[in-house]
Structure 1
Amino acid sequence: MPSTAPALPLADVTVSDAALRRFLHGLPGVDAVGLESRAAALGTRSIKTTAKSYAIDLAISMIDLTTLEGSDTPGKVRSLCAKGAAPDPSDRSAPAVAAICVYSDMVREAKEALRGTGIAVASVATAFPAGRAARSVKLADTREAVAAGADEVDMVIDRGAFLSGRYLQVFEEITAVKAACGEAHLKVILENGELATYDAIRRASWLAMLAGADFIKTSTGKVAVNATPANTLLMLEAVRDFRAATGRQVGVKPAGGIRTAKDALKYLVLVNETAGDDWLDPAWFRFGASSLLNDLLMQRQKLTTGRYSGPDYVTVD
Structure 2
Amino acid sequence: MQPQIEAFFDDATGTVSYVVFDQPGGHCAVVDSVLDYDPKSGRTRPQSADRIVAFVQRQALTVQWILETHAHADHLSAAHYLRGKLGGKIAIGASITQVQKVFNKVFHLEPGFHPDGSQFDHLLHDNDVFDIGQLKARALAVPGHTPACMAYQVGDAVFVGDTLFMPDVGTARCDFPGGSAHTLYQSVRRLLALPPETRLFMCHDYPPDGRTPTWMCTVADQRERNIHVRDGVSEEAFVELRTRRDAGLDMPVLILPAVQVNIRAGAMPPPEDNGVRYLKVPLNTL
Q: Please, what TM-score do these two structures have when normalized by structure 2?
A: 0.29
Larger Rg: 1
Which is richer in strand? 2
